[in-house]
Amino acid sequence: MAFAVYILASQRNGTLYIGHTDDLATRMGQHKDGVFEGFTAKYDVKTLVWYEYFDSREEAFQRERRMKKWNRAWKIELIERFNPGWRDRTGEVV
């Protein structure tokens, strides 16, 4: 089983959300369908702009926690190295 850390964006250089999951395809469906009330629904954060897989839940959890402490510029730099056009990458994981 693979565990993913992911970044969602509301738009290019918009609001960002970082999360982790053991099923990225299902989680993206939940975000896009507005299943979660809270931050992602409130700020319409639905575009998958970055993700990374890990072998263990603990590795993914630690990566998520570290990234949440990063400053915004580091997060944007990571996204732009992986996805310079800020395209929705959901189709890659479904």
**What's the pTM?**
0.95
| Residue 38 CB neighbour total at 10 angstroms | 8
Q: Dump pLDDT digits (tens) for 1-31.
A: 799 999 999 999 999 999 999 999 999 999 9
CA–CA distance, 28 with 66 (Å, rounded to integer): 22
Going along the chain from its start, the domains and CATH numbers come out as 3-93 (3.40.1440.10)
**Confidence at residue 1, expressed as pLDDT on a 0 to 100 scale:** 76
For the chain, what percent of residues have pLDDT higher than 90? 94
**Confidence at residue 94, expressed as pLDDT on a 0 to 100 scale:** 65
